[in-house]
Amino acid sequence: MNTVIDAHNISKVYNPETIPVYAVNNVHLHLERGEFTALVGPSGSGKTTLLNMIGGLDKPDGGNIFINGNDITKLSANELIDFRLKNIGFVFQSFNLIPVLTAKENVEFIMQLQKIKQSERDERIKQLFQQIGLEDKLNERPSKLSGGQQQRVAVARALASKPQFVLADEPTANLDTKSASNLLDIMAKLNKEENITFLFSTHDQRVIDRARRVITLVDGRIVKDTAVVSTEHKEAATIR
């Protein structure tokens, strides 16, 4: 067994003094290395809040979150920034990239933050852009890329620092069906071939269908947690 995420009893309450909103309510979540898991649920069910806490962007009001055995709820804000840099890859819904940097620079600077050597960076960039299928767009600014291409670059950036796992909050929400499916193909391939752990939230049924495990949130609680046995079968279904 290789546990990556282990969240115990975590809660997040907004407006505790006036009208308390339990955005996340006593959630237990356990993720193994190599999972490809979707977090689903109606709008306002707490997906973003849960992902933010697991990603160390937000502190839970109760409970503990262990990433690779480290309790991140015990870290200070500054320690968390460093922790995120080294351990977690993020893909946001949109505007992931810095507009003044090229696609390559957007991926490279996160490695520069980690003080990774030039030669190693070059190698990694080459490999990542091959994996996302954008070798020919290395030197384009984000504004010259389609929404789908931008999200693929965001995935490359999330992977650049070889994180423990990748968190993606509705990565396909702003994409058309074809781009969304294309992004999912790339994520699934990376998951399968490189054993990269993905946890993503989504509303999109076609994206849900690609997941190997689906966790359903309602009103801040996990109401359903299903493992999907045969992904191959589903992939075949979508292709058709």
Partner 1 sequence: MWLAKMAWKNIWRNRNRTIITMAAIFFAVILSVIASSLQAGIFDNLVKNVVSFYTGYMQVHKQGYWDEQILDNSFESSAETEKKILQNKNVTSVTERLESFALASSEDITKGCLVVGINPEKENEVTLLRNKLTQGSYLQDNDNAVLLSQGLAKRLQLKVNDTIVLMGQGYHGATAAGKYRIKGLVKFGSPDLNDKALFMPLATAQDFYSAYGMVTSYVLSLSNTKDLQPTESSVRLAIGAGYEVMTWEQMIPDIKQHIETDSNNMKYVQGILYMLICFGIFGTLLMMMVERKFEMGMLVAIGMKKSTLVILMLFESLLTVIAGCLSGIIISIPLVHYLNKHPIKIGGETAKAYERFGFEAIFPTSTEASNFIHQGLIVLVIGLVLSLYPMYKIIRINPVTAMKR
Ligand X SMILES: Nc1ncnc2c1ncn2[C@@H]1O[C@H](COP(=O)(O)OP(=O)(O)OP(=O)(O)O)[C@@H](O)[C@H]1O
Q: Which residues bind ligand X (CB under 6 A)?
A: 14-15, 21, 23, 41, 43-49
Residue 27, strand partner residues: 10
# chain residues binding partner 1, by CB under 8 A: 26
Residue 96 contacts partner 1 per CB under 8 A:
yes
| 8 Å CB contact between 189 and 215 | no
Tokens representing 12? 């997040």
| φ and ψ of 217, to 5 deg | -105, 140
CA distance 88 to 181: 23
Residue 144 contacts partner 1 per CB under 8 A:
no
Identified binder of partner 1 from the candidate list 13, 101, 208, 228, rule CB under 8 A: 101
Residue 23 binds which of partner 1, Mg ion, ligand X, none (CB < 5-8 A, kind-dependent): ligand X
- Work out the angle at residue 165's Cα, subtended by the Cα atoms of residues 160 and 169, and round it to the nearest 5 degrees: 95
Q: How far is the CB of 201 from partner 1 (least distance, A)?
A: 15
First to last CA, the chain: 35
Restricted to residues 40-69, the positions that interact with partner 1 (CB under 8 A) are 52, 55, 57-58
CA distance 117 to 137: 23
Q: How far is the CB of 47 from Mg ion (least distance, A)?
A: 5
The residues, any chain, with a CB within 8 Å of residue 47's CB and separated by 6 or more, are 39, 40, 41, 169, 170, 201, 217
The 3-state DSSP class for residue 187 equals: helix
Q: How far is the CB of 65 from partner 1 (least distance, A)?
A: 15
Residue 104 binds which of Mg ion, ligand X, partner 1, none (CB < 5-8 A, kind-dependent): none
If the CB atoms of residues 41 and 171 are measured against ligand X, the closer one turns out to be 41
Residue 45 contacts Mg ion per CB under 5 A:
no
Report DSSP state, residue 89.
E
Contact residues for Mg ion, defined by CB under 5 A: 47-48
Contact residues for partner 1, defined by CB under 8 A: 52, 55, 57-58, 78, 81-82, 84-86, 88, 90, 92, 95-96, 98-101, 109-110, 112-113, 157-158, 161
